[in-house]
Amino acid sequence: MATSSNGGSFDERGHAEARLQAAQDATNRPSFVTVQPIADFPSRPRLLARGLTRRCAWCGDRKGYFLGWFKRQERCHSCGHSYRRGDEGFELGALVANMILTFPSVLGAALVYVVLTTPDVSVLGVVIAAGAVGLIGPAIFYPVSFTLWQAIDLWMRRPTPAELAGDGDATL
């Protein structure tokens, strides 16, 4: 039997890698596998409200498809619906949603600083206030940018009857 430099056989290493892969797959697997039918699909304003409050746009679950602030899984914990809906470029939309949320915040921070320090406004102070929000904002808005884009996607691409019934995801 061939052995590797650390003494373990290739077979053993192969099994160990297979076990590690299986463990990773189990970790990445959605905790909820059965897709629930959506009987009461929300109105467009309600979709946006859910998206802006980091909820699943489909069912309104608070945790949605997030495992942490930055970590997410493919499907909602509660309803099992996918946030991608067959869109491989979903993150581009989420990126735009993040910019839509961050840019006004940067302007708002600069404006608040100016209002609070008028008439002795420091340009450096404005830059620091706006820059700080510009740096922290994208991280703060990260999960909301995903749920907001999910809501906008459902606003623009209305769910099919099969999708609502939990019989599969939409395709682009």
- Closest contact distance (angstroms) between CB of 41 and Zn ion is 12
Nearer to Zn ion, 133 or 144 (CB): 144
- Closest contact distance (angstroms) between CB of 80 and Zn ion is 7
Nearer to Zn ion, 79 or 148 (CB): 79
Buried/exposed 28-63: b ≥16 CB within 10 Å, e otherwise: eeeebeebeebeeebeeeebbebbeebbbbbbbbee
Query: Which stretches of the chain bind Zn ion, using CB under 5 A?
Result: 56, 58-59, 61, 76, 78-79
Q: At what angle do helices 142-156 and 44-52 cross, to 10 degrees?
A: 170
Nearer to Zn ion, 58 or 149 (CB): 58
Nearer to Zn ion, 30 or 125 (CB): 30
- Closest contact distance (angstroms) between CB of 64 and Zn ion is 6
Nearer to Zn ion, 65 or 113 (CB): 65
User: Which residues lie closer than 8 Å to 96 by C-beta, 6 or more apart?
Assistant: 149
Please name which of 51, 65, 58 lies closest in space to residue 101, comparing C-alpha atoms.
51
CB-based contact 81:38 (threshold 8 Å)? yes
Number of H helices, E strands in the chain: 6, 0
CB-based contact 24:42 (threshold 8 Å)? no
| Distance, CA of 83 to CA of 50 (rounded, Å) | 13
